[in-house]
A and B are shown apart, each in its own frame.
Chain A
Amino acid sequence: MTFEYFVFMLLNGLSQGMLLFIIASGLSLVFGVLRVINFAHGSLYMIGAYLAYSLSATLTDGSMLSFLALLVAVPPAVAILGFVVEVTLFRRVYREEHLLQLLLTYSLVLILDDVVRVIWGGDPRNVARPDLLAGSVDIMGLALPTYNVFILVIGPVIALGLWLLLYKTRTGNIIRAAVSFPDTLGALGVNVSRVMTATFMLGCWLAGLGGVLVAALASVDLGIGMEKIIESFAVVVIGGLGSVGGALLGSLIIGVGITFFQLPFGRWALVFPYLVMAAVLIIRPWGLFGKPER
């Protein structure tokens, strides 16, 4: 492998990792505060992708402006769907055992996936890249799609935004306090159930954003939700459940790892996340950035 090709593959892998981070950070954040592993997170991401497809069909000019419109409109729509799901369903199971929570989120996967099948059908869909992002960038003689560069920019922006929100604002302090002791936070006068709803909506917003971004990256079909929830789950196990920094590291490891493993191993590279996850579970079961459970 030449050095140029190595850099090219690395950038490719990093852009895959950044996309995965946007989705997995939402899953991790929601788990941290709500203590529920939301398997329907992948379905919400998929709904974001299909919504982007439908909306783009009405905005046919292919301009950067209409693509930005998707980025602005679709994630809040998914967040509103999340609001409905949290208030009507999730809220009832926070104090129940994990099995019940898993059954709820898994049944939600089945329902949402079928709703998507009914509305959009089984054919693969995609969103045309806007003119501005349709070309490619020359990286030492190799052509990297401009769109991947775009994701390479968006990912760190989201990571920085989440970091500022969580570590530099009172809201972030409240979210992190809710991760440690929700009851104590409530006794201080904070409406914790509202914090939980807002966190869930933020998680869904991130899933929706990932959905828009993937719709112009690859083709969208009924399998993408399941594929990404499994990868995201691997990410949060590797990085540590509830840790956004861990989600970033885990996503980049998996994105870059899969990209490089694909060269010699082809489709077998999909095994890579599980190998890393197994290794982390053996060596550091609480994840690279996580903390042992109390």
Chain B
Amino acid sequence: MQLVVENINTYYGLSHILFDVSLEVNQGETVVLLGRNGAGKTTTMRSIMGLTAPKGGRVVFNGEDITGLAPFKTARKGIGFVPEDRRIFPDLTVQANLEVGTKKGTGSRNPWSLEKIFEIFPRLDELSKRRAGNLSGGEQQMLTISRTLMGNPDLVLLDEPSEGLAPVIVKVLGDMIDLLKQEGITVLLSEQNVKFALKHSDRAYIVDNGHIKYHGSVAELQNDEDIKKKYLAV
């Protein structure tokens, strides 16, 4: 197991958000965390990253306990985080955004470079000198994923990447997720767009009201209309 989340309990102030959430992700897998708005998807990702440290339970990455580690240390262990609201640095140029994200990976392989990003997203190359705050939503989504990749992560947490994107951009995003798989990068994806998510994932978890309610392979979930109706409002 590359990532093991074991019975974590996370709070925002006094409100209890995650209840004994457990999940596992294998090296090279693409796993999706499905659930409605406010179900606890983002909080799960923030807990793994250390942005909102869990009060109980453990997060183990590559055999090492990283529970509650400062986010920059978690990142240096090889976990990349792509936040839901993208959070590109608006006053920096596109290229500067990518450079700020640049760091060495954990292994000897450092596959990501500006050239490689610009090859995958020629649009970012064209816009490289432009102020990032002026980019469209889709362009910003490409930039925020690329910025995280520049840190050469082993595992990427992708928080609701398809939210608010035009269908044509969602397709580009899907290709990107498939590409990460080909590159051997493990992905934990959170999504509300069930059809999109299942198309690009190997396994799925469903979170509802801060509890994990289901996990199984994509094929199993696809045939389970009851579960989909109950938790995903499909």
Contact = CB atoms under 8 A, between A and B. Distances in A.
Nearest to A172: B96
Interface string B86-119: 0101111000110111010000000000000000
Interface residues of A, number: 18
Contacts of A170: 99-100
Contacts of B92: 173, 176-177
B49 interface: yes
B196 interface: no
A177 B51 CA distance: 17
A3 interface: no
17 contacts: A173-B99, A174-B100, A176-B89, A176-B91, A176-B92, A177-B92, A177-B97, A180-B87, A181-B87, A186-B70, A186-B75, A187-B75, A187-B83, A188-B72, A188-B75, A189-B76, A189-B101
A191 interface: yes
B151 interface: yes
Contacts of A176: 89, 91-92
Given A177-B100, A181-B87, A185-B89, 5 more contacts: A173-B100, A180-B90, A188-B75, A188-B147, A189-B101
Contacts of B83: 184, 187
Contacts of B89: 173, 176-177, 180-181, 184-185
Interface of A: 170, 173-174, 176-177, 179-181, 183-192
Interface residues of B, number: 25
Contacts of A184: 83, 87, 89
A188 B101 contact: yes
Contacts of A190: 72, 100
Nearest to A179: B91
A185 B100 contact: yes
Given A181-B87, A181-B89, A187 B99 contact: no
B81 A187 contact: yes
B10 interface: no
A192 B76 CA distance: 13
Given A170-B99, A173-B99, A189 B91 contact: no
Question: Which 7 A-B residue pairs are closest in the complex by CB-CB distance?
Answer: A189-B75, A184-B87, A186-B71, A177-B89, A187-B81, A173-B96, A189-B103
B148 interface: yes
B91 A186 contact: no
The prevalent SS among residues of A at the interface is helix
Contacts of B91: 176, 179-180
A187 B103 contact: no
Contacts of A183: 51, 71
Contacts of B72: 186-192
With most chain A CB atoms within 10 A of its CB, the pick from B72, B83, B101 is B72
B51 A187 contact: yes
A185 B89 CA distance: 9
A188 B103 contact: yes
Contacts of B151: 188-189
A187 B100 contact: no
Interface in B134-154: 147-148, 151
Nearest to B90: A180
